[in-house]
Amino acid sequence: MTQIASPHAVLVIDDNQKLCKGLARILKLDGYRVDIANSASAALDREEWQHYFAILVDRKLPDSTLTELLPQIIAQAPEAAVMVITGYADLESSLQAIRLGASDYLLKPIDPDQLRARLRRFVELREARDEVRMRDEQVQFMVDNLPAGAAYVDLKSNLVRVNRRVEELTGYSDAELSDRDAWFRILFGERKDEYQAAYENARTTGLSQPWLVDLVTKNGRKMIVEFSGYRYDNHEVWLINDVTERQQYEEQVRKQRDFSDRILETAQVIILILDREGKIVRFNKFMEVVSGFQLEEVRDQNWFELFIPDSSEEQIRESFDRVILGAEIEGNVNPIRTKSGLLRQIAWWGKPLRDADGEITAVLSIGHDVTDLMNIKSQLVQSERLAAIGEMITGLAHESRNALQRARACLDMLSLDLVEQPAHMDLTHRIKEALNELQRLYEEVRGYAAPIQLSLGPCRLKDIWEAAWQHITEAMEDRPIVLQAHDDLPEILCVVDRLRIEQVFRNVLENAAAASPPESVVTLKSEACEYKNAPAIRVQISDNGPGIEHQDPNHIFEPFYTTKQKGTGLGMPISKRIVEAHHGEIYVAANTSKGATIEIVLPCKQPNPY
């Protein structure tokens, strides 16, 4: 006979019909469905044992013993709680029932309250088991249908069940990976113990952090997988994702990045990246060498304000704006200002950098330092000009020297006849002075065009500029000017040609004194510095004059430029040639105060020509 299914169904097996009816009345009051069997055979004829959550069975039945019946009942209804009804209060009979698989026992006469309390406990236990079973089934369903490889692990039995994705990844079936030992032994081979120890350690943190493991598939292919998992109750779920291709791609990216970094750090060109606002994102080691700035000093600062001279800023900003709009530039040459204040000429190639969406996010610039090349080119042009001037002046001086000597001889003879005529004698004296000035100009131009030969030796610069100033003050007794020197390097020697460097200091100090008003101060400061990665001394000479009014103040080093009424305008160009012959530099420094400042940088030692 088919019974109506109920989650709270109770089966009573007892040959005492009166007892069965009484129990049925009591239990129905609590909402249970009660089925009755008056014999063992009547009970075993039933088919739907799975509906009973509790079975009450009499210890003594007319057609079977408890020892025979109880195992059959448990086999038919393994999830049901079996309570044995007994009239014997001895301990041995109770233990025997428990040993046979019973959940509990009841003594006759049955106490209704006690029975109802125990059944409520069994109902709660059944519902808890059903909930756990349903949750396990849900988890197992999710595991089976995950796109990643997953294993469902029973921690009590150590049994493992894997989903289809694990079989696809590894080639091993669920039966082959049936327990934890098989899982580690088969999949990880020689590294089994290492990974098992790592797994046990990871369990202390709940398997929350994934880690990479090397896995060997059934066909021998090595695979890199990401292993992670989580735990609940007495189960764990393991997840494995094949990240072999991702790891290979990341390794390629890492190698490419390392290669790019090596290029950045070793390339003998400037590599500069600016954002859309012109702020510094990155530059390489060569830029640090050229500019004197470390990247961390200037990162996120405005490139134009820090490195570009005012005279070139507008032009360079226009080029930058074109690149931001998508254009590329090639071979643009402009100066940059170094940390020491010197200017370096850089030839730039620039192109926009785009993100994955094609939007321009930055500008990449490659710069070649062409300062030395431009200097050499300028020197070659200058040498050709000087050679032409020298050749012309040499011939002219030779021919004019004879003419000047004849003119002087004639003036000497004329002077003998004009001794008693003072006015005429004054005219002849003036003519002689004009001839001497003309001779001096010829010699000065010839000296500027002639090659500079140096006689080098260790000298204290302080001694040289003091000697130069002494000569100047003797010639300027009517214009008292004070030299205020700040020299912190009295013992540092420079290998220089003393007479040539004295000529440089005399030219610069003489110009500073001439530009300053009477009874003013010319300031001289010296300090140690580095120039072209070698020890050097920088000397600053500042006057109190009106300054240099010109877009490019360094034009004072051009031949024949002068603001004086007398002179050839060759003093500063000659000084520049002398300083450059010493592998140094002379230039007009940026000066926010009144007057002009000339800076002279001389290396302490001259480079080996070989």
Same fold, 146-246 and 457-603: no
Which residue has tokens 């500079």?
Answer: 452
Predicted confidence at residue 169, as pLDDT, reads 85
Which residues of the chain have a pLDDT value below 50?
1-6, 610
- Closest to 325 measured CA to CA, from 307, 344, 298, 352: 352
Burial class (CB in 10 A: 0-12, 13-18, 19+), 550: exposed
| Domain definitions of the chain by residue range | 9-130, 146-246, 273-367, 374-449, 457-603
Return the pLDDT at 2: 39
CATH 3.40.1190.10 fits 457-603, yes or no: no
Which of 515, 433, 505 has its CA nearest to residue 472?
505
At which residue do the structure tokens 């989580």 appear?
230
Domain 146-246 is found in CATH 3.30.450.20: yes
The fold of the 273-367 domain, in CATH, is Beta-Lactamase (3.30.450)
Phi, psi of 533 (to 5 degrees): 65, 25
pLDDT of residue 11: 92
Residue 278: predicted pLDDT:
93
Q: Which residues neighbour 600 within 8 Å (Cβ) at sequence distance 6 or greater? A: 504, 508, 538, 539, 541, 579, 584, 585, 586
What pLDDT, on the 0 to 100 scale, is given for residue 508? 92
Task: Name the pTM for this structure.
Answer: 0.40
In whole angstroms, what is the distance from residue 513 CA to residue 479 CA? 9
Question: d(Cα 12, Cα 85) in Å, to the nearest integer?
Answer: 10
234-272 pLDDT, tens per residue? 788 888 888 887 777 777 878 777 776 776 677 788 889
Alpha helices of 450-557 — where are they, by DSSP H?
461-475, 498-515
- CATH architecture for segment(s) 9-130: 3-Layer(aba) Sandwich (3.40)
- pLDDT at residue number 264: 65
CA distances from 428 to 405, 420, 440, 441 (A): 14, 13, 18, 20
